[in-house]
Amino acid sequence: MRSDVPGGAVREIRGMTTTDPAPSEPRPEPRVPPPPRWAVRAARVAAWSTVPSGVWRIALVLGVPVGVMEREEFLAGFPDHSPLIALAYVLLIGAVAEAASYLTLGLVRPWGEVVPRWVPLAGGRPVDSRLAVLAASLGALTVTVLWWVLFFGGLLTAPSPDPGVPAGEALFVAAYSPLLLWGPLLAAVTWSYHRRHRARTRS
């Protein structure tokens, strides 16, 4: 009896030749389909939707004529009418809003599938898609109610804050109108993210 098996390929046993079966390869992990182009574009628009209003607020604090409200009127709501405190406030509000809107990109980018490695403790771990969908859905509902109902709904029912300055009012509306896109676009991108992850689960 002779065995000629470097790595287990061929054996001759009593005149019979047998071939060892190749080791089974592990099945690849199901992959998430790439996001459609419309979802990528919608996420980008949602991410930028908070920028014009943030610039408008900064211009107001710096004394740039923006109509609707005077700089002194705005500063009256802060201790000692301090422009530094007011500027810190509008920068903080803008940073929070823009960071929140920027998270929409995570629904169409790789860091929405796996946590970036630089993130402490969670870096490199896969993102729980169900938790991401829940958080994004709640966010879409919140910002939609905030801007469509509370903010712009209040503007429509309130008297004109500064009659006789139509250009200033137009500038104000132009700066804040993109916020109306944030909630609906986030909802649409969240739906796309959910569908892509369902497709991975079923494959």
User: pLDDT for 22-81, tens place per residue?
Assistant: 555 555 556 788 999 999 999 999 999 999 999 999 998 988 888 777 888 888 888 888
Based on DSSP, count helices (H) and strands (E) in the chain, helices before strands: 8, 3
Q: Answer yes or no: is 25 within a domain.
A: no
> Does some domain include residue 50?
yes
**91 occurs within a structural domain:** yes
Domain span holding position 81: 35-193
DSSP one-letter code for 126: B
DSSP one-letter code for 69: S
pTM given for the model: 0.77
- Give the pLDDT score at 6: 53
Contact between residue 190 and residue 131 where contact means Cβ atoms under 8 Å apart = no
Q: What is the pLDDT of residues 136-150, one digit of tens each?
A: 999 999 999 998 888
Provide the pLDDT confidence category of residue 201 given band limits of 50, 70 and 90.
low
Report pLDDT for 202.
61
SS3 of 10-31: the string is EEEECCEEEECCCCCCCCCCCC
111: in domain: yes
Give the pLDDT score at 11. 47
Residue 4 lies in a domain: no
CA neighbor of 41 nearest in space, from 196, 198, 189, 191: 189
Residue 190 and residue 137 in contact, taking contact as beta carbons nearer than 8 Å: yes
- Domain membership of residue 92 (yes or no) is yes
Q: 98-138 pLDDT, tens per residue?
A: 999 999 999 999 998 998 888 888 888 999 999 999 999 99
Q: Is residue 62, in this structure, part of any structural domain at all?
A: yes
13: confidence class by pLDDT, cuts 50, 70, 90? very low
Q: How many domains does the chain have?
A: 1
Chain position carrying tokens 């980018």: 109
How far apart are the C-alpha atoms of 160 and 13, rounded to whole Å? 98
Residue 110 lies in a domain: yes
**Tokens coding 177:** 């109108």
